[in-house]
Amino acid sequence: MNEAGQATQAAPPKKVLVVDDNPTIVALVRHAITMYGNYEVIVAYDGAQGIEQFYSERPDCVIVDVHMPRMDGYQMVRCIRGDGVSAHTPMIILTAMNEENDQLTGILSGVDEYLAKPFKPSVLYATLERVMRITPEEREQRIHRLAAESASAG
């Protein structure tokens, strides 16, 4: 109830699309983000299904694995980032691939954060909250800066 005695409505949950071909990981991620906050979790089990879910559900954030059938996580991120309408959607890669080259590929594909499995639920949740606060302008500046640094280093 608010000060006027009227019932207050809770904000609707933010939607998070979790894309991973391992149902156990999907369940762990779902538990980690719903345990701490008000999120609705949408699931896909490969990159192509992830793209379909992305455009039908319009999630507020995407958490995606790298190695999956039909379309890998890097391709999925690039597809979403390449669409002007969805380019500023917060995105996190969550993968067992944790070599420096893998991380660089993920970051250069346009993801906001690159997390390694196994993960701590509290760290995943904090990362989700952080990427949800990045403004489109900050995201665009970061991508341009990374592209310029990568081009000058290569």
What global pTM score does this model have?
Answer: 0.86
Residue 1 counted as domain residue: no
Residue 9 counted as domain residue: no
Residue 4 counted as domain residue: no
Residue 46 counted as domain residue: yes
In which domain, by residue range, is 18 found? 14-153
Question: The domain spanning residue 64 has which CATH number?
Answer: 3.40.50.2300
- State how far Cα 103 lies from the chain centre: 15
Residue 42 counted as domain residue: yes
What is the per-residue pLDDT across 52-79, written as a single tens digit (0 to 9) for each?
A: 999 999 999 999 999 999 899 999 999 9
What is the per-residue pLDDT across 130-141, written as a single tens digit (0 to 9) for each?
A: 999 998 888 878
